[in-house]
Structure formats: C-alpha cells, structure tokens
Amino acid sequence: MAKSTSSIPATASQERHGVAAGLKDQVGGLMDSAIALRRGLHKWPEIGNTLPKTRDQVLSALEGLPLDITLHETTSGIAAMLTGDKPGPTVMLRGDMDALPMPEDTDLDFASKTENCMHACGHDTHTSMLVSTAKLLSERRSEIPGRVLFMFQPGEEGYHGAKFMLDEGLLNVSKLKDGTESPIKAAYALHITTSMPAGMVGTRGGPVMASSDVLSITITGKGGHASEPFRTLDPIPVACEIVQALQIMITRKIETFDPAVVTITKLIAGTTTNVIPETATIEGTIRAVSEKTRNKVHDSIRRVAEGIAAAYEMQATVEIKIGYPVTVNDKPSVDFALDIAESLLGEGKAVHMPSPVMGAEDFSYVLNQIPGAMVFLGGTPQGVNPATAAPNHSNRVMFDEAAMAHGIALYSSLALRTLGVTLN
C-alpha cells in the first residue's frame, strides 16, 4: 500500500500506483534542461524524415546515459534502449521530432530562425519530454525489471515516419543478455494540445484519431470561348456541384455516430477571364474513425463525382491517396494510463474524452501492432482560455512549458508501472 509522505492522505489511484513524491522531485530537477532543449529545438525546426540538426541536438542531450542507441538509416529516427538491472518485458515511449512548413508569428525570444518552418504542433516539447524521461529512468535503472525503448520519430506530419521506423525493424527487439525474451508489452505517446488546460490529460479507448486520405478529382470537359458556353462542356460549374454534393453525401449517407469529414480545400481551373478551360480539379482531405466508414466514403465519392460529371456529358477522374490509418487505442491501456495520470495530477484531472479527434497520427501504425495509447496533454498557457487559445498548427500557437513537467512524470510513470514498479 502506498503511504503519503505528507499529511495529505493518498488517493485511491495513489494507493494503486504510489504517491510518486521522489519522482516529482526528479522531474523538478530536470525542468531547466528540458526547457533549454525544447527552446533549442524550437529555434531550429526541421521538416520531414531528414532532421540532421534535430537529431544532433537529441543525441547530445542523451550523451552519457546508459542507453543502447540505434540510428535509423532511412530516416533521422533514433531508437534508444534502456536496460534495467532486472529481467522483464519492454515498454516503448514515443516522441515525434518534426516541424511544419509554415511561418511563426509568436514573438517568442526563441522563435524559429528557419524561414517558413515552425514547431506549431508541439513536437519540440514531446522530444524534450522524452529526453528528460530517459534521464529520469536512467537514474532509476536499478529499480527497472525489463527495458524501456525510447522512439524518437521524424516525419509525423504527413511523412509516415513511424512506418519507416517500423519497416526498419524498430519492434524487432533482441533478447536480454541472458537469453531471456523481452517483448514489447505496451507503447505510449503523449501529444500536447492547447485545447485542454495545462495540468490535465485526456484520451479514450477505441478510435481516438481519424484516418487521413488525400482526395483529388479532375473533371474533363471541352474548352472554348467564355462568351459561348453552349459550345463547350464547362467543367467549373460541375466541379462546384460536386463540392456541394459531397457535403450532402456526408450528412445523408454516413452514420452520425461513426462520422467522417470531407473538406475540399482547393479548386484549380482556368487561366484567364475569357476562356472556359477543359479541366477543373478539386482537392481536399478525407477523415474517418473506422475502416468501414473510410471505405464507404471512398466509394461514395467516386459514385457522386462520376455520376454528376456523366450527367453533364463529362468525365470525372477520382484519385484517393491513402494516408494514415485510424488511431485506435487499446481500452485497458487507456484505463491504466488515465488512472496513473490521476495519481500524478489529482482527481478530475484525467478525463475520458467523449469522442475522437478528427486529426490524424502515424502512431496509428504502432498501435496496429502493439497495445497502447495516445494520450493528450493539456498545454494551454496560464491565464488563456482553451476555447480561444491559438490551436495546434496555428502560426501563433504557444504552449505552457510548465506542462512538460506533467508529461515527463506521466511518460516515466507509464514505463515504471507497466514494468510493475511502484511510484515513489
């Protein structure tokens, strides 16, 4: 049974997991270096799967720790393994490292110095928290029965970085030195968000984030003079009709409680004011939270586009580029993670989200193979209403750096508790 080190009695979740007083002290001692690393990463963001400056900063921060480090060759991914002093299974913790191709307008002292590149989704905080977790758990190596695999991943923002790391053998962990098997038992990732107050976490079992596919429809008609549309097959009105019809299709063909989103973000047509073009192209994104609905939407888009085009004697060519799958959390892992979070943050601070987020994540590839969970970490700056805070992916988004302490504590505790270590 956990015993409180203060006059405050242990909560029910602390009775199950421990009061983590010493762990929280360790986190406090790591915050200066965590903030410094986060700001260094924020100042020099990089995009995609090749992140040389970022990898160098991470490797420098990990230097001297008792880690077996593997540098991935197809990407800038880093796999760092901490082996405890006792045998046991492996738990994996993931932090993504890449930034977004966009300007930064935050006026922070450590704002991006790379033109049109910004850590607008908080991956700099994820990476820094994971490095700090590696430091904390390295100090507790003698307590650990098993291993912790730290997955520093590039290319989350549309570049399939997790899949590249998996294809390169990330999950093919070796046996322990004594020949004992040490399979990966669970995998966890944290994601900071300004849609939730600092000091809170949230997630849900089952689908937690959507699939993401890219849509392109080209309507081919017959060009001609803008003053004689009757002599042409004008693709622009047909493209506009398809855009409208896709929204009707979503509301009338897709189940309310198994939702999907089709958003058209580009319409490309024409070269000047007095020419009807031969083609018009519409592009956008498709989101769904089940494979069943994902496939249904794909089929419905083709039927709607081809049918409308045919009604006007034109042709629609539909191309769907398959992106990330639905991110599906393992329910027992979610209950476990939220219970641990409550023991760290207090009652009412760890919430079951009622519905999925329609954003997408390539941690989905990991969760398709290993039980685990994606957990959202509140990061709204103090004094700012989450409802009006600049959201993730905004050129003005800012995160409360103090929230990284909660993330480091949660990452560390998830690893320790998965391996059966009481939090002290």
395, 120 Cβ separation under 8 angstroms: yes
Q: List strand residue ranges (DSSP E) for 230-324, in order.
A: 260-269, 275-276, 279-288, 315-321
Q: Which of 143, 168, 306, 401 is catalytic?
A: 401
Going from the C-alpha of 14 to that of each of 10, 125, 340, 341, 408, the distances in angstroms are 6, 27, 8, 10, 18
Q: What is the DSSP annotation of 246-273?
A: HHHHHHHHS-TTS-EEEEEEEEEE-SST
Q: Which of 46, 157, 324, 411 is catalytic?
A: 324
User: Maximum distance among all alpha carbons in the chain?
Assistant: 86
Residue 60, amino acid: S
69, 79 Cβ separation under 8 angstroms: yes
Cα Rg, the chain, nearest whole Å: 24
188 is known as an active-site residue: no
324 is known as an active-site residue: yes
Instruction: State the DSSP H helix or E strand holding residue 207, giving kind and residue range, or none if neither.
Output: strand 206-209
* Residue pointed to by tokens 């984030």: 209
279 phi and psi angles, rounded to 5 deg: -130, 155
Active site residues: 324, 401
